[in-house]
Amino acid sequence: MKCLTVVGAKPQFIKAAPMSKALAGQGMEEVLVHSGQHHDDLMSDAFFRELGIHEPDYNLGVRGGTHAEITGEMHQRIEAPIRDEKPDVVLVFGDTNSTRSGDLAAEKVHVPGAHVEAGLRSYNRRMPEEINRVVTDQLSTLLLCPSAESLKSPEQEGIVSGVHEVGDVMADVNRIVAAGIPEISEILGQLGAQAGDYLLATCHRADPERLTSLLSAFGQLSDLVVFPVHPRTRLAIESGGFKLAPNIRPVDPVGYPDMMTLLKNTRLLFTDSDGMQKEAYWLGIPCVTLRDETELVETVERGWNRLVGADRSKIIEEVEKGRPPTGRPLLYGDGRTAQKCAALIAELTQSLD
Q: pLDDT of 45-76, one tens digit each?
A: 555 566 667 788 999 988 767 878 888 888 89
pLDDT tier for residue 183 given thresholds of 50, 70 and 90:
low
Asked if the model's pLDDT at residue 280 lies above 60, the reply is: yes
pLDDT value at position 300?
94
In whole angstroms, what is the distance from residue 213 CA to residue 249 CA?
A: 17
What DSSP character marks residue 55? P
204 has catalytic annotation:
yes
Coil, strand or helix at 307: strand
Q: What pTM does this model have?
A: 0.84
Rounded average pLDDT over 337-348: 97
Percent of the chain scored above 90 by pLDDT? 67
Maximum Cα–Cα distance across the chain: 63
pLDDT value at position 42?
44
Asked if the model's pLDDT at residue 25 lies above 60, the reply is: yes
| Range 186-319 classified under CATH 2.60.40.10 | no
pLDDT value at position 71?
84
| Residue 199 vs residue 47, higher pLDDT | 199
Rounded average pLDDT over 93-122: 95
| CATH 3.40.50.2000 residue spans of the chain | 2-168+333-351, 186-319
Asked if the model's pLDDT at residue 203 lies above 80, the reply is: yes
pLDDT value at position 232?
84
Beta-bridge partner residues of 256: none
pLDDT value at position 267?
94
What DSSP character marks residue 161? S
Asked if the model's pLDDT at residue 117 lies above 90, the reply is: yes
Query: Which pLDDT tens digit goes with each residue over 153-174?
Result: 999 999 999 999 999 999 998 8
Catalytic residue selected from 75, 110, 164, 204: 204
pLDDT tier for residue 184 given thresholds of 50, 70 and 90:
low
Q: Measured between alpha carbons, how far is residue 153 from residues 31, 133, 158 in Å?
A: 30, 11, 9
Sheet holding 198-201, edge to edge: 248-251, 224-228, 198-201, 269-271, 287-289, 305-307
Rounded average pLDDT over 24-30: 96
- Burial bucket for residue 273 (CB in 10 Å: 0-12, 13-18, 19+): buried
CB-facing half-sphere around the CA of 295: CA atoms within 13 A:
30
Lowest mean pLDDT among 89-103, 151-165, 178-192, 311-325: 178-192
Superfamily, domain 2-168+333-351: Glycogen Phosphorylase B; (3.40.50.2000)
pLDDT value at position 175?
78
Backbone angles phi, psi at 335, to 5 degrees: 90, 5
Rounded average pLDDT over 206-230: 93
pLDDT value at position 45?
58
Amino acid in position 132: N
How many CB atoms are closer than 10 A to CB 125? 9
In whole angstroms, what is the distance from residue 73 CA to residue 83 CA?
A: 16
Lowest mean pLDDT among 5-19, 137-151, 182-196, 252-266: 182-196
pLDDT tier for residue 320 given thresholds of 50, 70 and 90:
confident
pLDDT value at position 178?
66
pLDDT value at position 47?
55
pLDDT tier for residue 24 given thresholds of 50, 70 and 90:
very high
CB-CB contact of 341 with 167 (8 Å): no
Return the sign of the alpha-carbon dihedral for residues 96, 146, 156, 307.
negative
CB-CB contact of 50 with 43 (8 Å): no
pLDDT value at position 43?
44
Asked if the model's pLDDT at residue 261 lies above 70, the reply is: yes
